Structure 1
Amino acid sequence: MTTISTIERIDAHQHYWDPARGDYGWLTPSMTALYRAFGPADLAPLRASCGVARTVVVQAAPTVEETRWLLDLARNEPSIAGVVGWVPLDDPHVATLIAELAREPKLRGVRPMLQDLPDDDWIENADTARGVEALIAHDLAFDALVFTRHAHALATFLARNPALRVVIDHGAKPPIADGGESGYTAWSQAISRFARFPHVHCKLSGLATEAEPGWDDATLAPWVAHLLASFGPQRLMWGSDWPVLNLNGDYARWHASAQRLTQALSADERAAVFGGNAAAFYRLKTGLGDPPAG
């Protein structure tokens, strides 16, 4: 029987990259805090200081080559519990590609980087049926990287694919820095809409990046409260979004803030948010080599 003491802390969303690879179109030399290689050795002391045992590494380039690179990295790195890669989800041959990549046991999902696509309605209109069927067949998840403006299109996709496990990245990137009531209202309505689908989870991540410099617990509190109210502690999972987090915070600061902002939860609920939910959602292997129930 799993007890609170045996539930390991898992960072459900972080990145490794090397700009020298040449396929990170968004990552430019002007982004001085991010424009260098980041690997497991860089994250290890930060994880240790927060008691985080393992992580889910998420793609940062829309290429199959980067996905293979991450899987190669994960193969010999025990701290990587799983990889969320990228595939051309609307390619006619995507099922064959997914089947090939799924031979790597640490591939746990895919992410099409919806926020960067020129068409906000792509996920609603693209022919992704083959890709979705392959994801379901191989028990892989789908990460949705979206803003509020994608709400209608994503909701249509969610309704169409009830058997696909989906997680909303970064709480749908709320407009925290804008501070406007209309922005909060539109975002909160989108979150509530997503949460009505029982197969959808959400990541408590990326909020610091969306805030003004100098953010504190009070800055993030209403946004975290709505995520908790919408998804509950059973469908919310903490992630660092490191090293993107370095643009407006640091690992220990965000981890401590998230701990305080969820302190009203029970011990079981906190253990779920900070590890158990990620392990179950992504079907991560435990120390015994078996996936957890759920």
Structure 2
Amino acid sequence: MSMNRRNFLQMSAATVAAAAVQTELQAGVSAAFPVIDCHTHFYDPGRPQGVPWPGRDSSLYRTVLPADLRRLPQHLPVTGTIVVEASSWLEDNDWLLELAQRDPFIVGVVGNLNPESTDFGLQVRRLSANPLFRGIRISARQVGVLLEQGRSGVLGVLSDHDLALDVNGGPETPELLSRLAKHQPQLRMILNHLGNPAITRDPPPAAWASGIRAAAACGNVFCKVSALVEGAARDGGRAPEQLDFYRPYLDVVWDAFSDRRVIYGSNWPVCERAADYRVLQKLVADYATERGPDVQQQFFAGNSKAVWKWADRKPAASDKL
């Protein structure tokens, strides 16, 4: 059937109008609630002492600050972030807190302390005097050591100061975290990066899925949907951009933890090696939207506030930080 000029113009106008409505809807959604990225890393290799991570040969070896994240194209505008300290240097916890003090875009800091050190409790008490210090992250290996030695009680100082514990490790981490949670039922815990499963077209590994369900059975454990695209990238390539590729893994996590215990995190800038920020953000935003009208708000802000109890802060006046 041929199309005359009038029909073409009518269809074009309808297309433009539909696009405008969709843009307005997206703008309305993004303005309706805060969007907190709960897993970012900031660092400055240009400091006199440098940084222990990332290494000089890494594509990530450059100054990365909040203004750099704010400038990224985003599916939903990020209104704040909880930054995770990847450096093992004790003084870098203070460096991040000083950065956060200057830039209210940072609503919380997850520090890096060694629970096996003799001054662990002292450092937790010192850092927790700053209300922006919201917890620490440790490795699954450290959790295993504490459990094996019967010393997981040292982590009680975190719950004593109303702080949370992030744990990062491989696919064995969810099951390990379920064991720790039974020893520390008062401590809010967050599984990082879904436990880092290798995301493929095959069904999710049974052992990982079983661990996820075991961790979720503990009401004090939450799951951070972070590093999603890194889990799907292979041999330095880019990750798939289709939601259906990730859906089986997201189904396992969401069905186990429910809408109230899943949290948004990007793992930026590490994630940029696998996908653009806008892409990874849209993947999880679309999935959350499918779960119901209120799920996005919980996923992008509400659940993280329940875990870290971050405080709303005034927007940064400048991107020169």
Q: TM-score, normalised by structure 1?
A: 0.87
Pick the aligned partner of 1:95 from 116, 121, 125: 121
Among 69, 82, 85, the residue aligned to 2:108: 82
For the pair 1:215 / 2:240, whether they are aligned, the reply is: yes
**Pairwise CA distance, 1:211:** 0.5
The Cα of 1:270 is off from its aligned counterpart by 1.4
Number of residues of Structure 1 aligned to a counterpart in Structure 2: 277
- Gaps of at least 5 residues in structure 1 are 289-294
What is the one-letter code of the residue matched to 2:308? Y
Larger Rg: 2
**Cα distance, 1:45 vs structure 2:** 1.8
- What SS does the corresponding residue of 2:187 show, helix, strand or coil? coil
Contact 1:9–1:52, Cα closer than 8 Å, also in 2 = yes
Give aligned-pair identity as a percent: 27
Counterpart of 2:277?
251
- Counterpart CA distance in 2 for 1:123 and 1:152 is 15
C-alpha displacement at 1:220, in angstroms? 1.0
Match of residue 295 from structure 2: 269
Mapping of 1:1-294 within 5 angstroms? 7-20=33-46, 21-25=49-53, 27-32=54-59, 34-46=60-72, 50-114=76-140, 117=141, 121-126=144-149, 127-130=151-154, 132-177=155-200, 179-181=201-203, 184-212=205-233, 213-216=238-241, 217-287=243-313
Partner Cα distance (2:172, 2:297) in 1: 32
Work out the CA distance in 2 between the residues paired with 1:286 and 1:150. 31
Query: 2:24 corresponds to which residue?
Result: none
Question: In the TM superposition, what is the alpha-carbon distance from 1:22 to its structure 2 partner?
Answer: 4.0
1:171 aligned partner, one-letter code = L
Q: Output the aligned Cα RMSD.
A: 2.2
1:199 and 1:47 map into 2 onto residues whose CA distance is 34
Q: Name the SS of the counterpart of 2:115 in structure 1.
A: coil
Q: State how far apart, in whole Å, the 2-side matches of 1:152 and 1:228 are.
A: 16
Aligned residue identity for 1:52: V
Cα deviation, residue 59, structure 1: 1.0
Deviates more, 1:120-129 or 1:219-228: 120-129
8 Å contact kept, 1:165–1:199 = yes
AA partner of residue 45 (structure 2): P
Segment of structure 1 superposing worse, 14-23 or 35-44: 14-23
**What is the letter of the counterpart of residue 52 of structure 2?**
Y
Query: Quick one: distance in 2 between partners of 1:65 and 1:125?
Result: 29
Unaligned runs of 5+ in 2: 1-29, 315-321
C-alpha distance 185-137 of structure 1, shift in aligned 2 (>3 A):
same
Aligned partners of 1:31, 1:287: CA distance in 2, in Å? Answer: 33
2:251 partner amino acid? A
Question: Following TM superposition, by how much is the alpha carbon of 1:47 offset from its aligned partner in structure 2, in angstroms?
Answer: 7.2
